[in-house]
């Protein structure tokens, strides 16, 4: 382990802004993609559930 304290870990030898800026944006981008995925699948399933009722109504 290189680090002696959390503060040192956060500072990244003076490059904290660049290192954590990279990691934070990557985490945010991946989280956003996961959220979009879940929402799209949920919407598709909702349309599926609406479908049979539509058909039953037509008969």
Partner 1 sequence: MTRAMNLAAFVARMPQARWFRFTAPATFYALAGRLLPWCWGAAALFGLAGLVLGLGLAPTDLQQGDAYRVIFIHVPAVWMSLVIYVVIAGWVGLSRVLKTRLSSMMATALAPTGALMTFIALWTGSLWGKPFWGTWWIWDAHLTAELVLLFHYLGLMLLQACSAGARRSDRAVAVLALVGVVNVSIVYFSVSSWNTLNPGSGIDFTRAPSMSGMMLGGTLLMAAAFWAWSIAVALHRVRSIILESELGNEWTAELPEARP
Q: Which residues bind partner 1 (CB under 8 A)?
A: 1-3, 9, 12-15, 17-19, 21-23, 25-26, 29-30, 33-34, 36-37, 40-41, 43-45, 47-49, 51-52
Q: Helix, strand, coil proportions of the chain in percent (round to 5)?
A: 90, 0, 10
Q: How far is the CB of 8 from partner 1 (least distance, A)?
A: 10
Q: Are 16 and 10 in contact (CB under 8 A)?
A: yes
C-alpha neighbours within 13 Å on the C-beta side of residue 14: 0
Q: How far is the CB of 56 from partner 1 (least distance, A)?
A: 11
Residue closer to partner 1 (CB basis): 7 or 52: 52
């Amino acid at each position: 382990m290189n680090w002696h304290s959390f503060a040192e870990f956060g500072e990244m030898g003076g490059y904290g802004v660049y290192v954590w800026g990279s990691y934070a944006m990557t985490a945010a981008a991946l989280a956003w993609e996961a959220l979009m995925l879940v929402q799209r699948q949920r919407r598709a399933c909702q349309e599926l559930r609406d479908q049979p009722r539509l058909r039953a109504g037509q008969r």
